Amino acid sequence: MINNPTEEVNRVLQQAHVAFLSYKNFSGKQKAAFLRAIADEIEALGAELVSTAMRETNLPEARIINERGRTTGHCRMFADLVEEGSWVEARVDTALPNRIPAPKPDMRKMLVPIGPVVVFGAANFPLAYSTAGGDTASALAAGCPVIVKAHPAHLETSKLVAAAIEKAAAKTGMPQGVFQHVHGEGFEIGQALVKHPFTKAVGFTGSLVGGKALFDLANQRPEPIPVFAEMSSINPVILLPETLSRDAAKTASQLAGSITLGVGQFCTNPGLIIAIDDAALASFIATLVTEIEKSLPGTMLHQGIADNYAKRLTQTLAQKGVKAEGQSANGNAAQGTPLVASVAAETFLQNPTLSEEVFGPFSLIVKCKDTNELHQVITKSHGQLTATIIGDEAEISKHKVLINMLIEKAGRLIINGVPTGVEVCPAQMHGGPYPATTDSRFTAVGTDAIKRFVRPVTFQNFPESLLPTELKTENPLGIWRLFNNEQKK
């Protein structure tokens, strides 16, 4: 019965479950040592990791090195977070035994890990959103064992990183099964992982179809579990007319850079540009076209992504009213050709196909007759990871309603910047209303990503000796707590 996915998955989850029963009680210091060792071991892989990832993903060396830095960076960030310890949101409400009409019991609450987490890594981030990516690091930090289903497009890279994590686990005395690496073709193993009763949460980065399928599967389990799927976003950029009339060329250059960055293979790629159809927009388009024409086609992550980009591009350009404005020279079949197109807002509003993601170096300019039409385009927009407004302070002040509208559509609002480039920090919200993600209440990037893999538990009337360290009255860890409704250390 070797190679039976059900048996293999059963064995893996059994081990994860056993690991959980001890790992969940590991201290912040212990988990921090593990996370830092992961970062060290990834660095110790040296040039082999870089060359393997380059070969498997067609991404350039500088990008892989940068991404490696980001990966080790978030491992160390979560190490610091759990070592410090305040992230558990401890609340202590001491007893009032003489309260009338009924005594108040001693109540204390903190976040605890949810259980084994299954992670499906992203094709477009072979390091930072894959085997030791943000999902893995945040789940391990929370106290959850992790099972990574390797992305077949960068299997060797994934194996190298998995070995580094396993080495780190052994060196720092983590329980066997705290991290497991599973690979195999087809959907069967992934589905079995999500359906297994010991799996308690799922992290996924990929397509809308794939993410939605896992979400449905997880909700149909006898015990439904949360799925954090990051799926689809076209990241609208709104150009305000007065500002654009002054800055058309600069704005166009900046956006061209964002559209073509990494052959457009970012979840935050600006796929939609919305503006009033006036002379400033014409000038903006002229510069954007020049920039795009100067840009080069780039080899995409894998042939499937290149094929899909070509297909979606053809499909989009075949829609009524869509005009190709400019493109780079055509590349070979493995490459993605940067291209910008335009469409009248009236046409855009009637054609839902044009609101769907084209994953690659493409952006669609939506030309609006007036502000009303621009508002309609925003109102009809799906949920997004980001929304950007290009405009100076004075002009945006006159259009505050835009901020009010965009808050409902995206997890991150940007003024005078580009959506690509996702800062890893406490104030980051990388997530957004459906279909950007399946759960707009959680971020996949930054320290708060840990909150996806925890649940609160209250300890009522516990003697001091039986309380978790975080909740003992004398606060031995020195963490921030809400103590009788007062925030203090």
Contacts of a second copy in 190-219 (CB under 8 A): 215-216, 219
Catalytic-labelled residue, pool 75, 144, 267, 368: 267
Please write down the HEC assignment for all residues of 19-44: HHHHHCCCCHHHHHHHHHHHHHHHHH
- Of the candidates 12, 33, 29, 35, the one whose C-alpha atom is nearest the C-alpha of residue 176 is 12
Catalytic-labelled residue, pool 41, 67, 83, 230: 230
Residue 330 CB contacts under 8 Å (≥ 6 apart), including other chains: 297, 337
Residue 292 half-sphere exposure, CB side, CA atoms within 13 Å?
Answer: 27
Give the integer Cα–Cα distance in Å for 462 and 88.
Answer: 18
Choose between 112 and 343: whose C-beta lies nearer to a second copy: 112
Give the integer Cα–Cα distance in Å for 489 and 486.
Answer: 10
For residues 312 to 351, the per-residue mask of contacts with a second copy, x marking binding by CB under 8 A and - elsewhere, is ----------------------------------------
- Of the candidates 216, 241, 243, 239, the one whose C-alpha atom is nearest the C-alpha of residue 227 is 216
The number of beta carbons lying within 10 Å of the beta carbon of residue 468 is: 16
Task: Please say if 267 is a catalytic residue.
Answer: yes
- DSSP tag of 104: B
Task: Please say if 230 is a catalytic residue.
Answer: yes
CB of 476 to a second copy, least distance (A): 18
CB of 324 to a second copy, least distance (A): 30
> Would you say 232 and 208 are in contact if contact means Cβ atoms under 8 Å apart?
yes
CB of 484 to a second copy, least distance (A): 9
Angstrom distances, CA of residue 294 to CA of 191, 260, 290, 326, 461: 44, 11, 6, 10, 69
CB of 91 to a second copy, least distance (A): 4
Angstrom distances, CA of residue 395 to CA of 133, 253, 337, 379, 419: 39, 21, 35, 20, 20
Residues within window 94-153 making contact with a second copy, judged by CB under 8 A: 101-102, 104-105, 107-109, 112, 114-115
Give the integer Cα–Cα distance in Å for 203 and 162.
Answer: 17
Choose between 65 and 317: whose C-beta lies nearer to a second copy: 65
* Size of site (CB under 8 A) for a second copy: 74
User: What are the φ and ψ backbone dihedral angles of 409, each rounded to 5 degrees?
Assistant: -105, -20
Residues within window 434-473 making contact with a second copy, judged by CB under 8 A: 434-435, 438-441, 443, 448, 454-463, 465-466
Among 42, 45, 396, 444, binds a second copy (CB under 8 A): 396
Choose between 336 and 419: whose C-beta lies nearer to a second copy: 419
CB of 111 to a second copy, least distance (A): 9
Residues within window 154-183 making contact with a second copy, judged by CB under 8 A: none
Q: Is 238 exposed, middle or buried (0-12, 13-18, 19+ CB in 10 A)?
A: buried
Choose between 314 and 461: whose C-beta lies nearer to a second copy: 461
Choose between 63 and 183: whose C-beta lies nearer to a second copy: 63
Give the integer Cα–Cα distance in Å for 195 and 259.
Answer: 38
Choose between 159 and 434: whose C-beta lies nearer to a second copy: 434
Residues within window 57-86 making contact with a second copy, judged by CB under 8 A: 66, 86
For residues 357 to 386, the per-residue mask of contacts with a second copy, x marking binding by CB under 8 A and - elsewhere, is --------------------------x---
The number of beta carbons lying within 10 Å of the beta carbon of residue 242 is: 14
Residues within window 398-437 making contact with a second copy, judged by CB under 8 A: 400, 403-404, 407-408, 410-417, 421, 423, 425-429, 431, 433-435
CB of 486 to a second copy, least distance (A): 10
Choose between 210 and 331: whose C-beta lies nearer to a second copy: 210
Angstrom distances, CA of residue 445 to CA of 64, 99, 138, 164: 18, 44, 9, 22
Residues within window 223-262 making contact with a second copy, judged by CB under 8 A: 223-224, 226
CB of 425 to a second copy, least distance (A): 5
Give the active site residues.
230, 267
